[in-house]
């Protein structure tokens, strides 16, 4: 009986995995062209996606790792990838694998864009103050488009200023905040704006954000930059820009920051 079952399962497995077997040719050339591409349906000549080794997810106790093709912006040891102002060294404190806000905003020395995937982790300090005064920071793409970082755990404030809000524009879909002191994750997919020669917007910036794995911004179109108490607007800038982290006067902690520039499909 066991033998019959073994043969039966082996046969099912052969059928189930038939599509995964390497075959020559890999695909088809006698099928229709996929509209908008130069490739046939199931075209085996189409470029293979680049192989990337995923990172390990973080836990509260353990810092995760970046995917193999990411640029690590903070590895828990030093803030050398960051500057303060135009060319000063960043002054944020580094200890126990995290950096803590100290002495002003910091910007990445390198610039990234136009489209990126950004991962960051933060922990807010013990609750004191209210609203925007509690556990406030911010992640600015291109140094000007703020994804709000705030202690939004049982801390009401104006919705377009909560954690993962596009500041002053779009509240998060839900509030997925954890308690002060707990490590939280942002995964941001940001499409930088494109500008025409004359400075008008050819394509606005678009942000998708997951907060602790929960979708909070779903392909949200930005109206412009993200100033306080006024409507943002676009000012033409380059295709790459720095990531800025805000010192809003609270001792916020950050760890495991990495970024991937996104390339169009088939461009590997
Ligand atoms: Mg802020």
Q: Give residue 102 CA to ligand 1 midpoint distance, Å.
A: 15
- Does a structural domain hold residue 58? no
User: Ligand 1 mean position to 249 CA, how many Å?
Assistant: 10
User: For residue 25, how far is its CA from the centre of ligand 1 (angstroms)?
Assistant: 54
Which residues neighbour 85 within 8 Å (Cβ) at sequence distance 6 or greater? 104
Coil vs helix vs strand at 31: coil
pTM: 0.89
Q: What is the pLDDT of residue 25?
A: 75
147 CA from centroid of ligand 1 (Å): 8
Q: pLDDT value at position 6?
A: 47
Count of C-beta atoms within a 10 Å radius of residue 259: 22
Strands 145-149 and 106-108: unpaired
Gap from CA of 262 to ligand 1 centroid (Å) = 26
Do 31 and 84 fall within a single domain? no
138 CA from centroid of ligand 1 (Å): 4
- 10 Å Cβ neighbour count for 226? 24
At residue 3, the pLDDT reads 52
Residue 238 resides in a domain: yes
How many Å lie between the centroid of ligand 1 and the Cα of residue 246?
A: 6
Cα gap 119→73, rounded to integer Å: 10
Token pair for residue 17? Answer: 């995995």
CA of 13 to the centre of ligand 1 (A): 53
32 alpha carbon to ligand 1 midpoint, in Å?
Answer: 50
Asked if residue 266 belongs to a domain, the reply is no
- How many Å lie between the centroid of ligand 1 and the Cα of residue 62? 26
Distance, in Å, from the CA atom of 266 to the CA atom of 268, rounded to the nearest integer, reads 6
Residue 103 sits in the same domain as residue 8 = no
Coil, helix or strand at residue 132: helix
Residue 5 has what pLDDT?
46
Question: Which tokens in the block code for residue 175?
Answer: 């509030």
CA–CA dist 16, 18 (Å, integer): 6
- State the distance from the centre of ligand 1 to the C-alpha of 173, rounded, in angstroms: 18
Residue 136 belongs to what domain range? 71-261
- pLDDT confidence of residue 12: 46
Angle at 107 between CA 103 and CA 110, to 5 degrees: 145
* In a domain? residue 63: no
What is the CATH classification number for the domain harbouring 107? Answer: 2.60.120.560
Distance of CA 226 from the midpoint of ligand 1 (Å): 10
Q: Please, are residues 111 and 242 in contact by the beta-carbon 8 Å criterion?
A: yes
| Statement to judge: residues 23 and 88 lie in one domain | no
Ligand 1 center from residue 44 Cα (angstroms): 48
Q: What are phi and psi of 261, to 5 degrees?
A: -75, 135
Strand boundaries in 124-249, DSSP class E: 137-141, 145-149, 184-191, 194-195, 201-203, 206-211, 214-221, 244-245
Residues 140 and 37 in one domain: no
Ligand 1 centroid–CA 139 distance in Å is 8
Asked whether residue 87 falls in the same domain as residue 3, the answer is no
Taking the chain (268 residues) in runs of 10, the rounded mean pLDDT of each run is 48 49 78 97 95 97 97 97 95 97 98 98 96 97 98 98 98 98 98 98 98 98 98 98 97 98 91
Same domain, 204 and 111: yes
Q: Count how many domains the chain has.
A: 2
CA of 8 to the centre of ligand 1 (A): 61
Q: Is residue 62 part of a domain?
A: no
Backbone angles phi, psi at 181, to 5 degrees: 90, -20
Tell me, in angstroms, the distance from the centre of ligand 1 to residue 70's CA. 25
Q: Which residues of 171-197 are buried (b: 16+ CB within 10 A; e: fewer)?
A: bbeebbbbebeebbbbebbbbbbebee
Cβ atoms within 10 Å of 70's Cβ, excluding its own? 18
Q: Are residues 9 and 94 in the same domain?
A: no
Residue 1 pLDDT: 46
The predicted pLDDT at position 44 comes to 94
């Amino acid at each position: 009986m066991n033998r019959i079952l073994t043969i039966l399962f082996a046969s099912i497995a052969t059928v189930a995995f038939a599509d995964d077997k390497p075959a020559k040719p890999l695909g088809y050339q006698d099928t229709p062209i996929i509209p908008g591409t130069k490739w046939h349906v199931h075209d085996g000549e189409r470029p293979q996606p680049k192989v990337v080794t995923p990172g390990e997810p973080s836990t509260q106790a353990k810092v995760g790792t970046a995917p193999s093709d990411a640029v690590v912006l903070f590895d828990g040891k030093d803030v050398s990838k960051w500057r303060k102002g135009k060319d000063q060294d960043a002054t944020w404190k580094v200890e126990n694998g995290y950096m803590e806000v100290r002495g002003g905003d910091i910007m990445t020395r390198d610039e990234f864009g136009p489209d990126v995937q950004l991962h960051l982790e933060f922990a807010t300090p013990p609750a004191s103050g209210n609203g925007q005064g509690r556990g406030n920071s911010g992640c600015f793409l291109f140094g000007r488009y703020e994804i709000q970082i705030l202690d939004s755990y049982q801390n009401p404030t104006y919705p377009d200023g909560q954690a993962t809000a596009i500041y002053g524009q779009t509240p998060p879909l839900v509030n997925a905040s954890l308690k002060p002191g707990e490590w939280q994750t942002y995964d941001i997919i940001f499409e930088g704006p494109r500008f025409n020669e004359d400075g008008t917007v050819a394509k606005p910036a678009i942000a998708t954000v997951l907060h602790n794995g929960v979708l909070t911004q779903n392909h949200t179109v930005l109206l412009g930059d993200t100033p306080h108490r006024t409507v943002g607007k676009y000012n033409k800038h380059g295709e790459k820009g720095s990531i800025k982290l805000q010192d809003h006067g609270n001792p916020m902690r950050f760890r495991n920051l990495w970024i991937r520039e996104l390339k169009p499909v088939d461009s590997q």
